[in-house]
Amino acid sequence: MRVLRLTVSYDGTGFFGWQFQPGKRTIQETLETAVESVTGEQQRSLASGRTDAGVHALGQVVAVRTDTELDATTLCRALNARLPEDIRIRDVGFADPDFHPIRDAKSKRYRYSLQFGGQHDVFRRRFCWHLHRPLDPDAMRDAARLLVGEQDYASFQASGAPRKSTVRNIHHLEIADESVDGQYFVTFEIEANGFLYNMVRIIVGSLVQIGLGKQDEAWLRRVVDGRDRKLAGPTAPPEGLCLLFVRYK
């Protein structure tokens, strides 16, 4: 039996997240149906992480065991022919038999996209959070430095999530802003050795509070030190979040 390593992109708008849910359209169920159609096998897939409803991916990594003798190029073409237009297989490879997309991952990078002011961009509306009030990107950049490094991110984990270790190491946190035809956009790129449930969206929601002038750096320091979800800002909506890639080396 071989292990397929799939790199998958999807527009999460029309899905109830990655994980299989009876009676609901999910990425896992849609992908496994395509695999069965091509290989004739009912096999469970394992992704590097379970994206929530409405969250997107450019480079989700998925492992599937199979006995098929089809080569990678044929599998990629056949799977894409059976998948809906909001999911695409970007790459198919064969991994080591013990490959585990979660355990073997060294880091993941997410991008969160936000538009502020003006009318929402009709072409980006499903892929960014639109705020009507102006933001101060420099204030958010200054405060974001407090979130880089290895520390306890318990304040940025959704309430009710399993209380395992909440220590993570954020390697990279960059905030970029641009103006396009009078519309203003901010992107947050965050890479870490692992993420807690809703961690990126809570970080973004908290930094936006600073960008709006409602909070400051001292507040964010208290949020980190307090290790309590109730101290942090709101959870940013899902449509702005995209898993860019998973790093394995």
Percentage of the chain lying above the pLDDT 70 cut: 100
* Last-in-domain residue among 30, 63, 95: 95
**Domain match, 134 and 227 both:** yes
* pLDDT value, residue 159: 81
Is the four-CA dihedral 158, 191, 152, 155 of positive or negative sign? negative
* pLDDT value, residue 85: 97
How far, in Å, CA of 158 to CA of 161, rounded? 6
* pLDDT value, residue 182: 80
Residue 172 forms part of a structural domain: yes
**Domain match, 121 and 41 both:** no
* pLDDT value, residue 117: 82
Is the four-CA dihedral 50, 52, 53, 54 of positive or negative sign? negative
Boundaries of domain holding 215: 107-247
With a cut of 70, list the residues of the chain below it in pLDDT.
Answer: none
**Domain match, 85 and 116 both:** no
The CATH number of whichever domain residue 126 belongs to comes to 3.30.70.660
Residue 102 forms part of a structural domain: no
* pLDDT value, residue 123: 86
**Domain match, 113 and 218 both:** yes
Residues annotated as part of the active site:
52
The number of domains in the chain is 2
DSSP one-letter string for 16-56: S-SS--TTS--HHHHHHHHHHHHHS----EEESS-PPTT-E
The model's pTM:
0.94
* pLDDT value, residue 161: 74
pLDDT digits (tens, 9 = 90+) for 22-42: 999 999 999 999 999 999 999
* Last-in-domain residue among 70, 95, 120: 95
* pLDDT value, residue 1: 86
The CATH number of whichever domain residue 82 belongs to comes to 3.30.70.580
